[in-house]
Every structure is written in C-alpha cells, then in structure tokens.
C-alpha cells in the first residue's frame, strides 16, 4: 500500500479551495492563483484527498470541513511548525494580519512576517506553508485571512491561538454552509 505523506503545500492548496467559495477551481486556475505549477497543485489535491482533508471527485473535491477543522486545530502546529528567523521585510501574518490584527493588541515586539522583498512590514521571519504565500495572499484577501489564521494556530501564545481557533471555526462553518446551498 502506497502511503502519501502530507506536505505543507497540501494545506495551502486546501485553504485556497476553501477560500475560493465555489467548489474546486480548475487546476490551471489554482496554479496561477497560488503561483505553483499545475502538477504541484494536482499532487497536493491528491495528497489532501488521501488524508481526507478534501473529498474525492464524487463530491467534486470539496473540502472535508470537519476533517480540515480538526487537523488545523489539533495537528497543524505539530506537523508543520514554523521556522522563525531574523528581522526582515515581508508580509504580516498570524496575529499581525487581518482578521486577528483588529482583535489582538499588538505588543512592542517585532511582528511575524513572511519574508518578501516587496513586503511593506518589518518583523521576524516566519516560514509560510508554501514559499509563494506572500504573493498569493496579497492577491486574495479571503485566502490571506485563512493563511494568517493557520499561522496563528501554528505558532502563537494560548490566548491568540484561542481567538484564532474561534475565528477559523466560524469561517469554516460559513464556507461549509455556502457549499451546501
């Protein structure tokens, strides 16, 4: 039996499908929006299906919201902990990005940022789930919010994580209701 090992970009692709609001877009569209090759996107969808984060073709590759929520809340921080680095220019993530930015008071320490030369913020380097996250997130505010929430779950203090959990669950429930209608 072939075992498919989940990769960080599989969560990245699954969250983009959730943010898409209308079933799974074609691989070519996902690839363009995620700044990935169509073959990488296809492989990610296959692994996400194998891991039950996405349903199979019979259910139009829709997100398996229950499994996705459980994995994001309980497993993400253990399976894909972020690497932090030095002070850099980039794109804010975790508690420093919307939607958490308006819910959590910013302290005096440097914020977490995905390294990106064209980024507008300075902060501590925070490795994204996939290297093209800053580009794709800046093009799609809904997707950006999902990635920032996932990052808060990957590496935040308890209080921030609880707020992120609540917000992520709310958004996943809304997305799930949209796909049912």
Low-confidence ranges of the chain (pLDDT < 70): 1-3, 23, 181
pLDDT of residue 123: 97
pLDDT tens by residue, 20-71:
977 678 899 999 999 999 999 999 999 999 999 999 888 887 899 999 999 9
Rounded-to-integer distance, Cα 14 and Cα 27, Å? 12
Listed by start position, the domains of the chain span: 8-78, 80-180
- The secondary structure of the chain in percent helix, strand, coil, rounded to multiples of 5, reads 55, 10, 30
The residues, any chain, with a CB within 8 Å of residue 91's CB and separated by 6 or more, are 97, 113, 114, 116, 119, 120, 121, 133, 134, 137, 138
The residues, any chain, with a CB within 8 Å of residue 29's CB and separated by 6 or more, are none
pLDDT of residue 181: 63
Check: CB of residue 112 under 8 Å from CB of residue 92.
yes
pLDDT of residue 96: 95
pLDDT of residue 25: 86
Rounded-to-integer distance, Cα 104 and Cα 101, Å? 6
pLDDT of residue 3: 61
Q: What is the pTM of this model?
A: 0.94
pLDDT of residue 106: 77
Check: CB of residue 6 under 8 Å from CB of residue 12.
no
């Amino acid at each position: 039996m072939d075992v498919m090992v989940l990769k960080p970009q599989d969560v990245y692709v699954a969250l983009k499908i959730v943010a898409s609001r209308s079933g799974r877009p074609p691989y070519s569209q996902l690839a363009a929006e995620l700044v990935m090759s169509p073959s990488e996107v296809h492989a990610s969808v296959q692994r996400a299906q194998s891991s039950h984060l996405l349903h199979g073709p019979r259910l139009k590759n829709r997100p398996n919201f229950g499994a996705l929520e459980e994995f994001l809340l309980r497993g993400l921080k253990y399976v894909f902990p972020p690497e932090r680095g030095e002070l850099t220019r980039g794109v804010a993530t975790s508690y420093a990005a919307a939607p958490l930015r308006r819910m959590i008071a910013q302290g005096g320490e440097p914020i977490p940022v995905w390294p990106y030369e064209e980024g507008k913020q300075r902060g501590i380097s925070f490795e994204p789930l996939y290297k093209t996250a800053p580009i794709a997130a800046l093009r799609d505010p809904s997707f950006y919010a999902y990635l920032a929430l996932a990052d808060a779950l990957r590496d935040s203090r308890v209080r921030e994580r609880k707020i992120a959990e609540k917000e992520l669950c709310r958004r996943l429930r809304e997305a799930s209701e949209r796909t049912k209608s």
